[in-house]
Amino acid sequence: MAGMTADMLDCIAEVLVRAKHAVVFTGAGISAESGIPTFRGKDGLWEKYNAEEVASIEGFMRNPQAFWEFARELIVKRKAEPNPAHYAIAELERLGIVKAVITQNIDMLHQKAGSEEVIELHGSLSRVECLECGMIYAWEEVEKKLEFTVPRCECGSNYLKPAIVFFGEALPAEAMRKAVEHASLCDVFIVVGSSLVVYPAAYLPFMAKDAGARLILINAEPTHVDEHFDHVVHGKAGEVLPEVVKRLNKFLSP
């Protein structure tokens, strides 16, 4: 089933009203609606940049400057704000329906929108560490330097690495443990803005399904796994999720 029909939105709202433990899993598609470019697909960043050079740990150790030049375009030129989808998810958490947000994004927009239980599978741009001396910097300190030059540590090293997962690095063990726990416990698992091609994170909805959860997919385009979901809506998350919340609130009203 696909398409943002009124019946489909009502159906999803009813599923969420009955949920005891819903979990939301988000990918690059939700942030794209805030102006952050996606990585894969048409006009994605990997069409312009060599992922191995700018986003792998091996490439970073060879040439950290390449990553920071990439980061300058990705972040400094795009001051992103949460969009209605982020706020709708935060509202679902406030209502006690969503117990956790599992995200592949590193932009911290969920926290900015008000979500509190956010599991960051790929880390975030909250801090930066010098790989030579261990000095920790807040992201804001490094971002100021980025506007003018490639950031360097006070010790002289240019191996300043943000707390994000590069290609070739393992996902944070504690974040993955929490994500698996929520996937195993939830009765509703909602995927928003992800085509589910990046593993091992893409296994999570199927872990949830094996444990008995209903699966909901909200994505701008069809994916290769649509048929495995109980409810599929092809549309912008920033339009779909606020409508779901509006209908859900009607069901909750006395």
Write out pLDDT tens, residues 114-157: 999 999 999 988 899 999 999 999 988 888 777 677 888 999 99
Which pLDDT value is given to residue 5?
83
Task: Determine the residue type at 63.
Answer: N
**pLDDT tens-place string over residues 53-97:** 778 999 999 999 888 888 876 665 457 899 999 999 999 999 999
Taking only the tens place, the pLDDT of each residue in 39-49 is: 665 656 666 67
Annotated binding site for Zn(2+): 130, 133, 153, 155
Q: What are the structural domains of the chain?
A: 1-35+82-122+170-253 (3.40.50.1220), 37-76+124-164 (3.30.1600.10)
* Cα–Cα distance for residue pair 191/189, rounded to 1 Å: 7
Give the integer Cα–Cα distance in Å for 93 and 103. 14
pTM of the predicted model, to two decimals? Answer: 0.90
Using CA atoms, how far apart are residues 228 and 238, in angstroms rounded to an integer? 23
DSSP code string of 191-224: EES----STTGGGHHHHHHHTT-EEEEEESS--T
- What are the phi and psi torsion angles at 163 (to 5°)? -80, 55
Q: How far apart are CA 93 and CA 99, in angstroms?
A: 6
Binding residues: 27-46, 104-107, 130, 133, 153, 155, 193-195, 219-221, 237
Q: CB of 163 within 8 A of CB of 121? A: no
| H helix count then E strand count, the chain | 12, 9
> For 29-34, what is the mean pLDDT?
91
Write the DSSP symbol of residue 73: I
Residues 133 and 112: their CA atoms lie apart, in Å, by: 31
Residue 42, pLDDT score:
61
What phi, psi does 226 have (nearest 5°)?
Answer: -50, -40
Which of 21, 86, 110, 122 is flagged as catalytic? 122
- Tell me what pLDDT residue 1 has: 43
Asked if 228 is an active-site residue, the reply is no
Of 163, 200, 165, nearest in space to 183 by CA: 200
